[in-house]
Amino acid sequence: MSHIDFNVYHPQPLLIVISGPSGAGKDSILQGLKQSGLDIHFVVTATTRPRREHEVHGVDYFFLSKEEFARMIAQDELIEYAIVYNDYKGIPKQQVREALASGKDVIMRLDVQGAATVRKLAPEAVLIFITTASEEELVRRLKTRQTESVEDLSLRIATARQELKRVDEFDYVVVNEDGCLEQAVQTVISIIEAEHHRVHPRQVHL
């Protein structure tokens, strides 16, 4: 009979990436995770876009000038960054390192390209792909937003269709069906809990 070494259980902090195409419900799932009471550090993104009236620096975003952001790029202080509608946004390395060092799991929301960047930097990150029950459902969600011009919507739909093809680059896939958000959130929580019970835990280095 084999015996368990009771000194073997040493949970390591996880670096978790929530990704997937536009319209899949990534923000809704993150909101559900925040309300779940889990002891997780939710990464705050740095951006050069102006702060809106209700937003708080350091909570919603780190609001930086383009000069400050350029300095962070030059000094390799960002895990990844992108230009979104003429403004820059990116993930500060130091924030993630400090949270991991404190023993907390770290969770970040990235587009599919950003997730691929993180996988190269930190192969032990947990990549979770959020999607809909079908491509048709995804397109319908994007159309019902009605927040973009016809041209922008067409581009977003085309991009989403390409992103759906990259699911094989991820560790897990979670289907966020219409009306089943709570179930999708619970599935993500179950993935996180299961990862903490691996015999050979992931060791994240950044």
- Return the SS3 of 16: strand
Residue 203 counted as domain residue: no
Residue 27: its pLDDT value, please?
Answer: 87
Residue 2 counted as domain residue: no
Domain that holds residue 137: 15-195
Stated pTM of the model: 0.86
Total domain count for the chain? 1
List phi, psi (to 5°) of 191: -65, -45
pLDDT exceeds cutoff 90 at 67: yes
Residues carrying an active site annotation: 52, 145, 156
Residue 179 counted as domain residue: yes
- From 14-28, 131-145, 160-174, the region with the lowest mean pLDDT: 131-145
Q: Token digits for 190?
A: 């179950």
The closest alpha carbon to 174, from 203, 111, 132, 121, belongs to 132
Q: Residue 182's domain is classified under what CATH number? A: 3.40.50.300
CA dihedral of 44, 31, 85, 43, whole degrees rounded to 10: 20
